[in-house]
Amino acid sequence: MLTIIPEQFIRYKFMNSLFLGLSVGVIFILYRPLEPSIYSIGGVLLAVGMLIIARFYHHILNAEWLFRISLLVEFILLMAMLYFLAVPYTYQTALIIYIGYQITFVFGSYLVRAETLLLGTDTLLTRLDTAKQLGYLLGMGISYLFYKVVEHFGVTDNQAQVYDLHFLLVFIEVVVIVLIFKSFQKSAA
């Protein structure tokens, strides 16, 4: 049986939010080739997926499943980013990345509910939400500076800038995955 180590979990969520802040502008470039109807289909599938996940709350709202699902979500993001770096950017690339992100969004409500239940105290939740917001703000600030720096060095094409940012995103994602492992420990049943 797993339990959460709150200090490590808060560090993980800080880095997770830093990643989110860094990647906010990326999706506008990555999704550009997709038709608007794809977003409608994606939205429907997202809502259906969230409904299905909610039906399993009685079974998965615990530390064991929070660990597994957190790891799954971060692993999917890592694979999507590596795919983007490895293959030429086409419509298919955009679609696969969109599908990857949509799969992770299916677990969004679950992850928030699980961390709220498992951390349990208002003091820890205050620290968690503060860390998440600070990580998000820092991530957006770093992404702004990153785009300005690469522009300064002559990289003005948006797709090329997003491609270069992905090396930083992959590094942060690996740190996030390491922090997930540090955030949980086995406990006596």
Q: What is the DSSP string of the chain?
A: -EEE-HHHHHHHHHHHHHHHHHHTTHHHHHTTTS-HHHHHHHHHHHHHHHHHHHHTHHHH-SHHHHHHHHHHHHHHHHHHHHHHHHS---HHHHHHHHHHHHHHHHTHHHHHHHHHHHH-SHHHHHHHHHHHHHHHHHHHHHHHHHHHHHHHTT---HHHHHHHHHHHHHHHHHHHHHHHHHTEEE---
* Tens-place pLDDT, residues 88-116: 989 999 999 999 999 999 999 999 999 99
Q: Where are the domains of the chain?
A: 2-186
pTM for this model (two decimals): 0.92
134-180 residue pLDDT tens: 999 999 999 999 999 999 999 999 999 999 999 999 999 999 999 99
| Domain made up of 2-186: CATH architecture | Up-down Bundle (1.20)
